[in-house]
């Protein structure tokens, strides 16, 4: 065996540009310090309990050492009864405190873990909408699942166990010093081997294990996709390719397993050598000392047994140390979210009136690439505006700007003369709401799913909102009514029903201006139109900006804006545009037959 | 089998009749590895157990003031040290190899199984179960299969040491021989409860993770409309429940830890008590007493394997059962087919509804009920999930052809085609006729802006074909996903292409261009489109209206829109009020038309031709302007 190089392909390497920040070392340190401060009492208690447990564990070797000394001296009085009594007492204390150590360690770990995951979600929920739109939720999602999982092990086991292990080693060494100082010095003979071996190992291990677990996750992910895409796989005859892909993933994963196995193949002999050297040097050095009458046999016996006890805590420390290293990376990703400043906005800014205006607005997601150029639009209160145009023309972007999610690069978007992007997100949404194609149904009751729009609403209001979106029919047919559990794991709602729920939330929130981005695209065509009509009755008097890919929505609007290539190319009512005989008119004719 | 030789060229045919049989099959298939692990394990455990004898020898040597014997003991210890290190390292290597080869084998079996079941998986509950086996159960199965040899080595060692002690020092050895089995078995009754609590904790943790990821997934909704506190509170509650469950589980494990301290301690005290008496009587030496004491301390290490194997079995049993169930699933229809045939061609005909898609033409199907449309589309591909008369392609029943032949001849793109993750190049690399290039297909499906979006999101903004598509294309909008899926189907270029609502999430401007693109690209090939969009219908050679599983009207879009009220209602999305109004107008018009029917019929053909030309012109304008 000459060694194994790390595989060339690293499944843990990022595949897409990370958009959310990763915490700097200083941020992570500050957070860890804060965590320690918050749980200082529990930490001190754990160490105290652990001290008692370890000290009492040394009673056995110590008492046996005394007995051995007296027996080998041929002493008349052994005090055997007393010694055994002390032995039993020490054992009882040890058993009780070992239990306490384990329990306190878990309690501390769990509390820290709970703090961490709750902190993270609180932070995530406070992120500015613009950051979310830009970054997407994928990165955030992987942080709250994968990274929290990795940290769970570290917090639950590694941190408390490491604390225990370190205290344990220190106390055992202390016990050795008390028994016979030269024996403690003998133990140090093993230290160089251990240090050199561990430095080599821990330099390579964390990234190795990260790649290994990413590789294993990729094996499961490939299979999950094959299963999820079963119909597509069969229709396109992709079966053989999927098998080949799974096998490639297995090869990549096992290559990393082989690498980490090699790392351990170096570490294990080092650890074993350490243990044997510790025990051997205590016995040999101690033996020579006894032969020269510098220490007695009892001290030697006690020393040898304590040296044997060192095996457990040393293993404990080595076992959990790399887990903590891996956890650091995850912690940095979680803490990174704290580096994003929540948008405070200008609290003094309040709209005066309901007119929405865009003045010479320019906007682009990337430097130098404008999605919108010089767009101006005035929407009078109570008007229904439809934005139509080809994909990628900038309709959705304009909708998000009108809802205050992004700030324009140049120009102004105002609501009642107040600039939307400078207002706090909470204020904006009390005036303007956006419903997009993302129709998320939360895990929970149907009631909670609607209630989030206005927490103090009563059931009658919820039913009214459902009625306004034509959803009361199927909702009333549910066995548990509003208490029905929906979302993943609960009753599966159709995409159309999910969209109705999104709209019911909107009805309940009742902002005076609404931006609907393809809000009914998933309903079957006739139902969609029916819904839009009944919604129009409820929303009468509200300003509605609807982004539509179906022309009937445009037909029903007061004003239609055709967005093409980042500009508004046609503006007017349906009749005016048909009269003008431009692109819209051509489409309408073709569409309506 | 070495790790570097994985994956298996052939993972074999598993014995999936039951969970235990499956475990047995896995173990039998790595018998060599198991024996190796057993041998290394014995070396390791026995040499670890030899250390206490060294301690005893050293103490006795000192008591007897013999420097020579002390040095000899030192040499013996060094030997033991080497044996321990070699044994431990190679035990670990073989054990991990056994675990990995078992896990890889099960993963390979699962991959083959899911590829074979294909669409049958999504229809059954099994989909989630296969994934659960892959993500959670494989590890547990591998753990047990691997632990068997380690446990056997540990158990043999315990027996050997006990026998050794009885021979070495019968009076003390007997106490050890009686005490050790008690130590080994004492905590076993507590393990089921402990593992139950651990399972409960895992379940709670899973729930909390689900709530957290659910909240994050819907974060844009929450930030847009409010309700953050509602969901934070809910998560805090779930998170605290996890904490409580974890502490409850820790209580059990800490009790087990305490027992693992207490019982060996009591055994040690008994040995000291008896040993000191014996030593006083001169029946044993001090060194022997220390040896026995030290041996019991060391033996707790192999004893832990008794608990481990019990836990491994209790964890892996349900896992193995689930894996066996998943691996024993079979397709409902015979994928082999009852007749050999080359991929047929000709008209596609469904005897159940009477739907006919003529060879080489573009047929559009309008069906008021989207679910019924989905079922019909599935049937057109042959081998459907529901039994019924087979669809005929060129007169041959598709259900009787081998599955692969049927899928080659007819490609059915369902309503929710899945984009598989990977680079765009990989996505579009599907088995195909080779007649249609990626560029052509992407252009026909109007994927220009998708390519731009992909290039933007990728690490190095180079060739969009190298851009990564995330799982299910989640980073793309619904319309973008649909267009990529359509491009993929177009590249396949099958004899018959069936598209179910391929542009439902695409805006009208783009849809009109796609309709033209698909029509041009599929010229001379048979294409069936399920749609209610006039923009697509208008470009079909033939439009078929299916209502309640029966063909009710056939014609062109323009004929049907004027003559069939049901058709008109579906495709123009009229509300009932409009329909009523329209009916009255139609009646009126019909009365008028009656009188001038002949004149109009004479005019119609000419008019339609001009109008079509006009319209084509307008679309070219739109294209240029965009």
B604 shares contact with chain A (CB less than 8 Å): no
Chain A contact probe: residue of B4, B45, B507, B510 with most A CBs at under 10 A: B507
Structure tokens belonging to residue B405:
């032949």
Q: Would you state the pLDDT for residue A11? A: 79
CATH of the domain at B46: 1.20.1560.10
Instruction: Confirm whether B338 is domain-assigned.
Output: no
Residues B231 and B208 placed together within one structural domain of the fold: yes
d(CA A560, CA A72): 105
Taking residues B383-397, what's their average pLDDT?
A: 88
Answer for the pair A574, A557: CB distance below 8 angstroms, yes or no.
yes
d(CA B521, CA B440): 8
Structure tokens belonging to residue B613:
């030309």
B607 shares contact with chain A (CB less than 8 Å): no
Length of chain A equals: 593
Instruction: Confirm whether B229 is domain-assigned.
Output: yes
Residues B319 and B412 placed together within one structural domain of the fold: no
CB neighbour burial string for A156-177, b if at least 16 within 10 angstroms, e if fewer: bbbbbbbbbbebbbebbbebbe
Boundary of a domain, candidates B294, B327, B360: B327
pTM recorded for the entire structure:
0.81
Q: How confident is the model at residue B552 (pLDDT cuts 50, 70, 90)?
A: very high
Q: Would you state the pLDDT for residue B586? A: 60
Residues B190 and B233 placed together within one structural domain of the fold: yes
Instruction: Confirm whether B261 is domain-assigned.
Output: yes
Give the distance, in angstroms, between the CA of residue A214 and the centroid of all CA atoms in the same chain: 15
Instruction: Confirm whether B155 is domain-assigned.
Output: yes
Q: Does B431 contact A238 at a Cβ distance shorter than 8 Å?
A: yes
Residues B599 and B582 placed together within one structural domain of the fold: yes
**Residue of chain B minimizing CA distance to A486:** B214
Interface A–B counts its CB contacts (< 8 A) at: 524
Q: Say which residues have a Cβ less than 8 Å from residue B379's Cβ, sequence separation at least 6.
A: B350, B352, B386, B388, B391
Instruction: Confirm whether B88 is domain-assigned.
Output: yes
Residues B568 and B581 placed together within one structural domain of the fold: no
CA nearest to B85, candidates A283, A202, A203, A193:
A193
Taking residues B505-512, what's their average pLDDT?
A: 84
CATH of the domain at B376: 3.40.50.300
Residues B241 and B312 placed together within one structural domain of the fold: yes
Nearest to B258 among A95, A234, A277 (CB): A95
Question: Considering only A50-59, A69-78, A256-265, which range has the smallest mean pLDDT?
Answer: A69-78
Residues B291 and B408 placed together within one structural domain of the fold: no
| Stretch 185-204 of chain A: residues touching chain B, C-beta under 8 Å | none
| B154-to-B147, B308, B624 alpha-carbon distances in Å | 10, 11, 79
Q: Say which residues have a Cβ less than 8 Å from residue B611's Cβ, sequence separation at least 6.
A: none
B542-547 and B362-367 beta bridge pairing: parallel
Instruction: Confirm whether B342 is domain-assigned.
Output: no
Q: Would you state the pLDDT for residue B624? A: 38
Number of structural domains found in chain B? 3
Sign of the Cα torsion A314, A320, A322, A328 reads negative
Instruction: Confirm whether B335 is domain-assigned.
Output: no
Mean pLDDT of chain A: 85
Instruction: Confirm whether B73 is domain-assigned.
Output: yes
Residues B321 and B359 placed together within one structural domain of the fold: no
Question: ipTM score here?
Answer: 0.84
CA nearest to B516, candidates B593, B423, B623:
B623
Q: Which DSSP string do the residues of A3-56 spell out, in sequence order?
A: --PPPS--TTS-SB---S----HHHHHHHHHHHHHHTHHHHHHHHHHHHHHHHH
Q: How confident is the model at residue B486 (pLDDT cuts 50, 70, 90)?
A: very high
Mean pLDDT of chain B: 84
Q: Would you state the pLDDT for residue B608? A: 44
As a whole number of Å, the end-to-end CA separation of chain B is 60
Tally of CA atoms within 13 A in the half-sphere of B9 that contains its CB: 1
Instruction: Give the residue numbers spanning the domain of B283.
Output: 10-327
Residues B147 and B213 placed together within one structural domain of the fold: yes
Q: Which residues pair with A486 in a beta bridge?
A: A444, A491
Residues B209 and B356 placed together within one structural domain of the fold: no
B79 shares contact with chain A (CB less than 8 Å): no
Residues B319 and B397 placed together within one structural domain of the fold: no
Residue B98, preceding bond cis, omega within 30 degrees?
A: no
CA nearest to A251, candidates A419, A476, A441, A9:
A9
d(CA B112, CA B126): 15
- A chain contacts of residue B239, beta-carbon cutoff 8 Å: 114, 117-118
- B17-48, pLDDT tens digit by residue? 999 999 999 999 999 999 999 999 999 999 98
Q: What is the dihedral of CA B318, B319, B322, B323, to 10 degrees?
A: -150
Boundary of a domain, candidates B327, B359, B393: B327
B335 shares contact with chain A (CB less than 8 Å): no
**Closest CA of chain B from A531, distance in Å:** 10
* pLDDT of B603 strictly over 50: no
Q: How confident is the model at residue B614 (pLDDT cuts 50, 70, 90)?
A: very low
d(CA B449, CA A436): 19
Residues B594 and B555 placed together within one structural domain of the fold: no
Task: Count Cβ atoms within 10 A of the Cβ of residue B580 and give its class: 0-12 exposed, 13-18 middle, 19 or more buried.
Answer: exposed
């Amino acid at each position: 065996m000459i060694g194994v190089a790390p595989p060339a392909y690293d499944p843990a390497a990022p595949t897409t540009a990370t958009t959310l920040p990763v915490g700097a070392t200083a941020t992570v340190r500050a957070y860890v310090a804060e965590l320690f401060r918050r749980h200082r009492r529990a930490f001190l208690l754990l160490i105290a309990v652990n001290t008692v447990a370890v000290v009492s564990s040394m009673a056995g070797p110590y008492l046996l050492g005394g007995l051995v000394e007296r027996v080998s001296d041929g002493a008349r009085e052994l005090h055997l009864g007393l010694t055994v009594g002390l032995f039993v007492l020490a054992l009882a204390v040890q058993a009780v405190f070992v239990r306490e150590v384990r329990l306190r360690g878990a309690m501390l770990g769990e509390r820290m873990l709970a703090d961490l995951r709750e902190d993270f979600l609180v932070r995530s929920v406070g992120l500015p909408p613009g950051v979310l739109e830009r970054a997407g939720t994928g990165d955030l999602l992987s942080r709250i699942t994968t990274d929290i999982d990795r940290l769970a092990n570290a917090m639950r086991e590694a941190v408390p166990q490491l604390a225990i292990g370190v205290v344990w080693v220190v106390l055992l060494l202390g016990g050795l010093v008390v028994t016979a100082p030269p024996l403690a010095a003998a133990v140090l003979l093993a230290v160089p081997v251990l240090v050199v071996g561990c430095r080599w190992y821990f330099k390579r291990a964390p990234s190795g294990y990260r790649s290994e677990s990413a590789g294993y996750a990729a094996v499961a992910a490939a299979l999950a996709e094959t299963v999820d895409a079963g119909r597509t796989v069969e229709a396109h005859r992709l079966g053989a390719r999927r098998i080949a892909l799974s096998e490639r993933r297995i090869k990549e994963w096992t290559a990393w397993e082989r690498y980490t196995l090699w790392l351990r193949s170096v570490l294990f002999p080092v650890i074993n050598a350490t243990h044997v050297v510790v025990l051997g040097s205590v016995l040999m050095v101690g033996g020579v000392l006894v032969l020269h009458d510098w220490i007695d046999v009892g001290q030697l016996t006690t020393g040898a047994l304590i040296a044997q006890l060192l095996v457990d805590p040393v293993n404990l420390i080595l076992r959990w140390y790399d887990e903590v290293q891996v956890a650091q990376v995850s912690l940095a990703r979680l803490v990174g979210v704290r580096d994003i400043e929540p948008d405070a906005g200008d609290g003094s800014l309040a709209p005066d009136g309901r007119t929405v205006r865009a003045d010479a607005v320019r906007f682009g997601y990337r430097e130098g690439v404008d999605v919108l150029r010089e767009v101006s639009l005035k929407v009078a209160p109570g008007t229904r505006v439809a934005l139509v145009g080809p994909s990628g023309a900038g309709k959705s972007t304009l909708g998000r700007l009108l809802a205050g999610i992004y700030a324009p690069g140049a120009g102004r978007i105002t609501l009642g003369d107040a600039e939307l992007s400078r207002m706090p997100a909470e204020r904006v949404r009390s005036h303007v709401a956006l419903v997009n194609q993302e129709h998320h149904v939360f895990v929970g009751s149907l009631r909670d799913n609607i209630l989030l729009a206005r927490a103090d609403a009563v059931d009658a209001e919820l039913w009214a909102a459902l009625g306004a979106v034509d959803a009361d029919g199927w909702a009333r047919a549910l066995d548990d009514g509003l208490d029905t559990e929906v979302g993943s794991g609960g009753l599966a709602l159709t995409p159309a029903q999910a969209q109705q729920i999104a709209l019911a939330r909107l009805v309940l929130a009742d902002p005076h201006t609404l931006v609907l981005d393809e809000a009914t695209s998933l309903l079957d065509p006739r139902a969609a139109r029916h819904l839009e009509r009944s919604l129009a009755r409820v929303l009468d008097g509200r300003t509605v900006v609807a982004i539509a890919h179906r022309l009937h929505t445009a037909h029903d609007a007061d004003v239609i804006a055709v967005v093409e290539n980042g500009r508004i190319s046609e503006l007017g009512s349906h009749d005016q545009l048909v009269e003008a005989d431009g692109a819209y008119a051509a489409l309408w004719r073709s569409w309506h037959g | 089998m070495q790790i570097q030789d994985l994956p298996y060229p052939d993972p074999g045919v598993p014995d999936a009749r039951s969970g235990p049989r499956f475990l047995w099959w896995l173990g039998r298939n790595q018998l060599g590895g198991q024996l190796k692990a057993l041998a290394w394990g014995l070396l390791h455990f026995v040499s670890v157990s030899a250390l206490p004898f060294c301690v005893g020898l050293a103490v006795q040597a000192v008591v007897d003031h013999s420097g020579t014997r002390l040095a000899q003991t030192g040499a013996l210890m060094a030997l033991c040290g080497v044996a321990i290190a070699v044994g431990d390292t190679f035990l670990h290597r073989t054990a991990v190899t056994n675990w990995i080869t078992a896990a890889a084998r099960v993963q390979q079996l699962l991959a083959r199984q899911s590829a074979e079941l294909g669409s049958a998986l999504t229809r059954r509950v099994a989909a989630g179960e296969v994934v659960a086996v892959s993500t959670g159960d494989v590890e547990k199965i591998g753990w047990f299969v691997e632990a068997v040899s380690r446990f056997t080595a540990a158990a043999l060692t315990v027996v050997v040491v006990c026998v050794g002690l009885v021979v070495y020092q019968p009076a003390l050895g007997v106490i050890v021989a009686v005490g050790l089995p008690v130590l080994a078995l004492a905590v076993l009754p507590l393990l089921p409860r402990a593992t139950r609590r651990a399972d409960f904790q895992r379940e709670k943790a899973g729930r909390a993770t689900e709530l957290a990821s659910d909240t994050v997934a819907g974060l844009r909704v929450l930030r847009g409309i409010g309700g953050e506190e509602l969901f934070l509170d809910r998560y805090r509650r779930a998170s605290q429940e996890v904490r409580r469950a974890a502490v409850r589980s820790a209580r059990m494990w800490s009790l087990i830890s305490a027992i693992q301290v207490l019982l060996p301690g009591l055994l040690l005290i008994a040995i000291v008590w008896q040993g000191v008496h014996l030593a006083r009587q001169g029946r044993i030496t001090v060194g022997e007493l220390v040896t026995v004491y030290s041996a019991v301390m060391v033996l707790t290490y192999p004893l832990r394997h008794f608990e481990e194997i019990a836990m491994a079995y209790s964890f892996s049993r349900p896992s193995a059962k689930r894996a066996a169930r998943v691996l024993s699933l079979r397709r409902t229809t015979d994928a082999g087919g009852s007749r050999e045939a080359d991929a047929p061609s000709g008209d596609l005909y469904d005897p159940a509804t009477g739907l006919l898609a003529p060879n080489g033409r573009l047929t559009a199907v309008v069906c008021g009920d989207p679910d019924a449309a989905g079922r019909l589309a599935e049937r057109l591909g042959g081998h459907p999930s529901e039994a019924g008369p087979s669809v005929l392609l060129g007169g041959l029943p598709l259900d009787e052809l081998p599955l692969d032949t049927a899928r080659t001849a007819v490609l059915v793109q369902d309503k929710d085609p899945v984009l598989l993750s990977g680079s765009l190049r990989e996505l579009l690399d599907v088995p195909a006729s080779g007649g249609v290039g990626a560029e052509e297909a992407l252009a026909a499906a109007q994927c220009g802006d998708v390519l731009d979006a992909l290039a933007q999101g990728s690490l190095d903004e180079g060739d969009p074909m190298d851009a990564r598509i995330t799982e299910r294309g989640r980073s793309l909008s619904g319309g973008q996903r649909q267009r990529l899926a359509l491009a993929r189907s177009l590249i396949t270029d099958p004899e018959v292409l069936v598209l179910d609502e391929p542009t439902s999430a695409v805006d009208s401007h783009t849809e009109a261009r796609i309709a033209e693109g698909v029509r041009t690209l599929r010229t001379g090939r048979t294409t069936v489109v399920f749609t209610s969009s006039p923009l697509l219908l208008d470009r079909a050679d033939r439009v078929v209206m299916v209502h309640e599983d029966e063909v009710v009207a056939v014609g062109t879009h323009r004929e049907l829109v004027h003559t069939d009220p049901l058709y008109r209602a579906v495709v123009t999305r009229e509300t009932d009020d409009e329909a009523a109004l329209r009916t009255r107008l139609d009646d009126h018009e019909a009365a008028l038309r009656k009188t001038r029917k002949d004149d109009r019929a004479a005019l119609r053909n000419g008019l339609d031709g001009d109008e079509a030309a006009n319209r084509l012109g307008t679309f070219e304008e739109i294209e240029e302007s965009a």
